[in-house]
Amino acid sequence: MDSSKSGIVTSVCSVSGINDLGIWVLVEDSEYFIPFAEYPGFRDSSVNQILNFSFSPPSQLRWEEIDMDIELEALALPESFPLGFTK
């Protein structure tokens, strides 16, 4: 057996908290806050839907069931990515 072969690269990501203001997501060594006020698509989602997400390195979070994608840069520098929702 040769143990020198590389395995599959995995990234550590998880939801670290949810409250009435938003969601905290831990991606590798950084934690990001996703406020419901700026991402209202999460407000009516179930906890299971929020917990079920994927991370596509280097920078995309994806919630398939909710049909939401967020770039980490938008969470790290929200002033550079103004959101505007219209009815």
Q: How many domains does the chain have?
A: 1
CB 42 within 8 A of CB 23: yes
Per DSSP, helices labelled H in 5-62 are 47-51
Reading the block at residue 53, the tokens are 């997400």
| pLDDT tens string 22-79 | 999 999 889 999 999 999 999 899 999 999 999 988 899 999 999 999 999 999 988 8
Whether 37 maps to a domain, the answer reads yes
**Tokens 């143990």 sit on residue:** 3
Identify the H or E element spanning 35: strand 30-35
Q: What's residue 9's pLDDT? A: 47
HSE, side-chain direction, 13 A CA sphere, residue 12: 6
Q: Helix (H, G, I), strand (E, B), or coil: what is residue 57?
A: coil
Whether 59 maps to a domain, the answer reads yes
Q: With a threshold of 0.85, does the pTM exceed it?
A: no
Task: Find the domain containing 33 and state its range.
Answer: 13-80
Whether 33 maps to a domain, the answer reads yes
- For residue 28, give the CATH number of its domain: 3.30.2020.40
